[in-house]
Amino acid sequence: MGTSHRSGFLKKTNDGGRLIITTFIGVLIGYFVGRSFQSVSFSKIHLPTSISTSFDIAGKEENINQISESPFSNGSSPRIYVSTNPRGAELLPPGIVVSESDFFLRRLWGEPSEDLKKKPKYLLTITVGLNQKKNIDRMVKKFSEDFQIMLFHYDGQTSQWDEFEWSKSAIHVSIRRQTKWWYAKRFLHPDVVAAYEYIFIWDEDLGVEHFNGDKYMELVKKHGLDISQPGLEPNNGLTWQMTKRRGDQEVHKVTEEKPGWCSDPHLPPCAAYALHLSLLSSLSLCCL
C-alpha cells in the first residue's frame, strides 16, 4: 500500500510539471508570433467586414503616411491617393494611375513608336445625325490635321460614316436623343481635354462655304480670345446683332442690341466675342 501511495504522488507531480512546461512553451510561442505580426500591414489582410472594420482606420492612416513620403506624391507630381479612394487603390504603383488623359489614338498592338506621329492641337466636336452626313463631310474638310474630330451621334447610327476616310480616325460617341451640352458635360472632362489648346463645339447644320479653320485660329491667338464665335453673314436674317459680321474690323467685343434686349452690354447674353471675317458664313463656334 505504501508503494502504491508513493507512485500515485509521483504521477500527480509529473502531470503538474508537464502542465507548467506546456504553458510556458505556449506563452513563448505566442510572444514570437505576436512580434512577427507587428510588421504586417492590416491593409493587406482580407478579413470579414465585421472583423476588419476596426483595422481600416489604422491601415488607411499608415498608408496615407507612406504615400505622402513617397517620391510619387512630392511637389512635382499630383497626389493620387485620397481617403475617399476605394480600398486597394493606394497600393497601385506610380504610372498606373494618372491625373490626366486625352483622346489621342493608340495602337492596339506593336511598339509605342507606332502611335500618332503628330498629335492634334485642337479638338473639334460635332453633334450629328445621319441626315446631315454630307454637310458634316464638307465641314470636317475645312479643318487641317491639327484638329482631332469627335462626333456625338444622337441618332445611334455610327457605322454609316465609314464611307469617309476621315471617319476612320475620328472618335464616335453614340447616345440617342441628347444635346451637344449633354455630351460636352459628360465626355469633355477637363482632365481629358487639357491636352488640346482649343475646343470647338459645333452644330451639324452650319455653313462653311467660306470658312478656314487655320485662319480662324490665327485670329483667335492674335487677339488672345479664350471664348469666341465667328461672325455670321449680315444677310442671314439673324436675331442678335452680336453675332453679325462687321466689315470694318476683325473683332468686336461690345454690341448694341435692340432696345430692352440688354440691361448691361458687358454681361451675358449680350457680351460677345465675334470674329469678323469675309471668309466666314453661317457658323456657330465656341472655343473653350
pLDDT at 112: 81
Is residue 254 within 8 Å of residue 265, measured between CB atoms?
Answer: yes
More reliable by pLDDT, 143 or 209: 143
Per the rule left: phi > 0, alpha: psi between -120 and 50, beta: everything else, 95 is left
CA-CA-CA-CA torsion sign (61, 64, 66, 69): negative
Q: Is the peptide bond before 230 cis (omega within 30 degrees of 0)?
A: no
Question: What is the rounded average pLDDT of the residues 87-93?
Answer: 67
Domain 97-209 coded CATH 3.40.50: yes
* Spatial separation of the C-alpha atoms in residues 152 and 101, rounded to whole Å: 19
In this predicted structure, the answer to whether residue 2 has a pLDDT above a threshold of 80 is: no
pLDDT at 135: 94
pLDDT at 154: 96
Beta bridge partners of 244: 232
Long-range CB contacts for residues 102-109, cutoff 8 Å, separation at least 24: 102/192, 102/193, 102/194, 102/195, 102/196, 103/148, 103/150, 103/171, 103/192, 103/193, 103/195, 104/148, 104/195, 105/169
Mean pLDDT of all residues belonging to the chain: 74
Question: What is the rounded average pLDDT of the residues 206-226?
Answer: 88
How many CB atoms sit inside 10 A of residue 71's CB?
A: 8
pLDDT at 65: 43
> Of 94-108, 169-183, 235-249, which gets the smallest average pLDDT?
235-249
**pTM for this predicted structure:** 0.60
Residue ranges per domain, the chain? 97-209, 210-287
More reliable by pLDDT, 99 or 43: 99
More reliable by pLDDT, 281 or 258: 258
DSSP state of 245: -
Q: In this structure, what are the phi and psi dihedrals at residue 61, rounded to the nearest 5 degrees?
A: -60, -40
Binning pLDDT at 50, 70 and 90, where does residue 163 land?
A: very high
pLDDT in tens, 66-75: 444 444 444 4
In this predicted structure, the answer to whether residue 43 has a pLDDT above a threshold of 80 is: no
